[in-house]
Chains A and B, each alone.
Chain A
């Protein structure tokens, strides 16, 4: 595979494809989590400051929110803290299974080492050297951060008359053709027509007419 995805083969002989997340998006997710922590810490201090009892509660809040927050998120919320959820990331074990207490606690403890000597320099260096963008904590705990994949919507071509192809397409060509229409909303109409014109040998048409014809063929292929 050349698309940078990680392929794990399960005992059933199925390949699980995971996409490791790179340093930039992880830094963004971390920054959001850090802001959330700052807000929690700020409100904790704001509410409880003043009394002696409150000072003790502040210490407890700081401790639990600083060391406990990422671990609780990863164990109880499927490997996703608020920052990771916002950026569509999740933490998994290297074998693609959810993280447990041990993995989560270790990777978040070692984050201290990743932070050294300053601003996650060790973690960044480690991520850049590692094929799967793992920081030290991930390597020690046997975990990795991947993109969370949503269940894709399936039904499309609802209002299109399916057409039969006069020209037999290989499975790979079929994938390419249907993949094109799956991305149709992201592409400008002119570009779609331009691409459809390339298919002139198949459709015998150019521009918008060829596009309509191709859409019909794609609809026919999915049904």
Chain B
């Protein structure tokens, strides 16, 4: 068959499909059937050696149809609720070993440096400069109107800063885990060290002790959990590369990232939640310290109970 005849025979089909693809016509129920006929056109055009311009055109049309047909996202209206009530806590429990390792790294380093500074205070200067320590000491003086922020900035300002800074730290902790998990462990350890030194240094002064801990206790429940979970997801990626099991490294990485995605999203949301508390609650001078300790304790308990029990009941 001459190409010209072929083209006039098929023109209606092609222009119809083109119209659907560029949005000028509605996609009808027989679009899959049209697509199959288009595939046949392409096969015929190839086999008969029609011009490259025609086969390229059909090729591109087929590619666009393929994406249109198979690229449709499946609607999952319950996804968020299911994720919150089941997927997220279940995945975290499945990774309890890595969570234990992350916690041990973070809290272990915090405890060791904390005790070191507590018993040998001059060691604090090997972790931080004297100016930094003085600055922290000044920030948590009992008289400060806005605790923990140098006293000059507003709540929203600090909220924005916490989101930009803390969530980015979580994301970096996760992403760098691909290098065998080592940078993740370093990030967890250095954050733990920071907490240990500052916490211990400010605890030694009876005036700053309650101010600091009442400031930290509430948002730390979400923030530390978020960081630990970022670390878990990052280490899982690194492990997939070191120990891919029966899969190829590439597939192990794909599988691990798919499994870790709910955790990394959860970690980011926890960190954002922490930024809310840190900006608007922890620093508020109008809330008394006992209330902060009680609410902080409730938050820690909620987080622990959530990850221990949520999603255990079968639906």
Binding site for B on A (CB under 8 A): 10, 12-14, 16-17, 52-60, 62-63, 66-67, 96-98, 100, 102, 105-106, 109-113, 116, 122, 136, 139-142, 149-154, 156, 170-172, 174-175, 178-179, 182, 221-223
Contacts and interface: CB of A to CB of B under 8 A. Distances in A.
Interface stretch (B66-74, B206-214, B287-295, B304-312): B66-74
Contact of A222 (B4, B154, B171): B4
Contact of B254 (A116, A136, A140, A221): A140
A223 B257 contact: no
B49 A14 contact: no
Nearest to B55: A175
B39 A140 contact: no
Contacts of A16: 59, 62-63, 66
Nearest to B233: A109
Given A56-B154, A67-B168, A100-B73, A13 B48 contact: no
Contacts, number: 158
B302 interface: no
Contacts of B162: 59
B43 interface: yes
A66 B167 CA distance: 12
Interface residues of B, number: 63
A98 B67 contact: yes
A56 B171 contact: no
Contact of B67 (A96, A140, A171): A96
B163 A60 contact: yes
Interface of B: 2-4, 18, 35-36, 39, 42-43, 48-54, 56-57, 59-64, 66-67, 70-71, 73, 153-165, 167-168, 171-172, 174-179, 183, 237, 250, 253-254, 257-258, 261, 264-265, 279
A177 to B, nearest CB: 9
A13 B257 CA distance: 30
Most buried by A among B39, B59, B164, B172: B164
Contacts of A14: 39, 42-43, 62, 66
Given A12-B36, A59-B157, A109-B175, A140 B63 contact: no
A53 B154 contact: yes
A140 B261 CA distance: 11
B160 A58 contact: yes
Contacts of B4: 222-223
